[in-house]
């Protein structure tokens, strides 16, 4: 059992760039059920609700952790595109900032060299994709080239980054995992105002969600349970990798033999260095987000676990220099 720590001693002793054992357990618990009451998390972890609320509040107010509620592209007829933009060196920062302001983009990153930007863009239907990828983006001043790869199938990271999922026992995982209520199986239509509120704060209180939607709190609770149960809405934890001692981020564009795609995907899902991976269209048919302690650790991963996977024919590594937008929210 972890003894509660007083407000004063915790705030005086905590290192803002690290997580202690209780912090890691809290992050793991939120990955299992992002909207779990602090009282339930505290009970399972053997501490007080006040301690859990304080730990969460510190991380969130410092912009090191966010809980976000996101719509499932599959359930809403949306398509995610991994977009690579090459631009002139003096324009990358401005173009990245403009992309971050768009509501249809997420995970906007400046890559090494200062001439490449990578982002995820979401479109609805062929005309929407055509407008964005063939007209709007290519006409951006000082943009040299645009390539877009459609997401075909998520492989890793949909249930959380393995690198942050080692803090709880099997018993605690069972006790904290979200289970849909028996009456949550009826289909529900997503509401734009509800989705917008959850994207801003996945732990928004029911009174706040009630005001955002105009529904009663009981209706909001029931509709959200239904959306979660059918997979239309899911929750993710956006957290600064530096808190786990990981200073090296890179996007890996992998070329994998088609017959080995499922095998490689299953392996990537177990690698603690991989925060997310998906099969895509294009000559590099798998994109993966790698998070490592430093450049040497990234090298070890590429030469070791990744290089040993059968079917991985080549790997292009693009180090991330700066995150401009994460999980739908601008950084800064």
User: Of 10-19, 44-53, 288-297, which gets the smallest average pLDDT?
Assistant: 10-19
Question: Is 70 exceeded by the pLDDT of residue 193?
Answer: yes
Q: Would residue 171 count as lying in a domain?
A: no
Q: Report the alpha-carbon angle 248-249-252, nearest 5.
A: 130
- What value does the mean pLDDT take over residues 295-320? 93
Output the pLDDT for position 164: 64
Beta-bridge partner residues of 274: 290
Domain boundary among 154, 187, 218: 154
Main-chain dihedrals φ then ψ at residue 46, nearest 5 degrees: 75, 40
Alpha-carbon separation of residue 187 from 184, 222, 295 (angstroms): 8, 11, 47
- Nearest Cα residue to 104 out of 126, 128, 69, 74: 128
Output the pLDDT for position 6: 40
Residues 6 or more apart whose Cβ sits within 8 Å of residue 295: 248
Q: Would residue 319 count as lying in a domain?
A: yes
User: Domain containing 307: what range?
Assistant: 239-325
Q: Would residue 130 count as lying in a domain?
A: yes
Residue 154 host element (H or E): strand 143-156
Output the pLDDT for position 5: 39
pLDDT tens by residue, 209-267:
999 999 999 999 989 998 988 888 888 888 887 777 788 899 999 999 999 999 999 99
Q: Would residue 159 count as lying in a domain?
A: no
Output the pLDDT for position 290: 92
CA 85 to chain centre: 21
Q: Would residue 280 count as lying in a domain?
A: yes
Q: Would residue 289 count as lying in a domain?
A: yes
Q: Cα torsion at 248, 300, 274, 137 (round to 10°)?
A: 60
> Could you tell me the CATH number of the domain that includes residue 139?
3.30.70.920
Residue with tokens 């997503």: 190
Name the domain count of the chain: 2
Domain boundary among 108, 133, 154: 154
Q: Would residue 139 count as lying in a domain?
A: yes
Question: Is 50 exceeded by the pLDDT of residue 13?
Answer: no
Q: Would residue 191 count as lying in a domain?
A: no
- What value does the mean pLDDT take over residues 301-311? 93
Domain boundary among 154, 177, 210: 154
């Amino acid at each position: 059992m972890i003894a509660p720590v007083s407000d004063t001693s915790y705030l005086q002793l905590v290192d803002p760039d690290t997580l202690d054992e209780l912090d890691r357990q809290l992050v793991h618990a939120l990955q299992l059920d992002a909207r779990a009451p602090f009282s339930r998390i505290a009970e399972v972890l053997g501490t007080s609700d006040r301690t859990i609320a304080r730990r969460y509040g510190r991380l969130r107010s410092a912009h090191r952790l966010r809980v976000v509620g996101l719509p499932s592209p599959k359930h809403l007829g949306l398509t995610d595109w991994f977009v690579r933009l090459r631009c002139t060196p003096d324009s990358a920062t401005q173009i990245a900032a403009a992309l971050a302001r768009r509501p249809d983009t997420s995970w906007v990153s400046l890559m090494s060299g200062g001439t490449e930007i990578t982002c995820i863009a979401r479109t609805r239907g062929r005309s929407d994709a055509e407008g964005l990828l063939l007209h709007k983006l290519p006409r951006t001043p000082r943009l040299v080239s645009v390539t877009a790869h459609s997401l075909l199938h998520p492989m890793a990271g949909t249930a959380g980054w393995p690198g942050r999922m080692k803090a709880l026992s099997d018993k605690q995982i069972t006790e904290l995992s979200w289970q849909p209520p028996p009456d949550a199986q009826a289909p529900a239509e997503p509401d734009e105002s509800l989705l917008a509120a959850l994207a801003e704060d996945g732990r928004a209180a029911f009174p706040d969600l009630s005001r955002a939607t105009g529904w009663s709190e009981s209706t909001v609770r029931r509709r959200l349970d239904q959306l979660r149960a059918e997979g239309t809405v899911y929750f993710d934890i956006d957290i600064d990798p530096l808190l786990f001692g990981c200073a090296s981020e890179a996007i890996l564009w992998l070329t994998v033999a088609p017959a080995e795609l499922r095998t490689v995907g299953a392996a990537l899902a177990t690698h603690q260095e991989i925060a997310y991976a998906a099969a895509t269209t294009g000559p590099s048919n798998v994109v993966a987000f790698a998070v490592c302690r430093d450049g040497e650790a990234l090298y070890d991963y590429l030469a070791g676990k990744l290089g040993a996977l059968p079917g991985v024919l080549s790997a292009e590594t693009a180090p991330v220099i700066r995150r401009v937008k994460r999980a739908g929210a601008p950084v800064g």
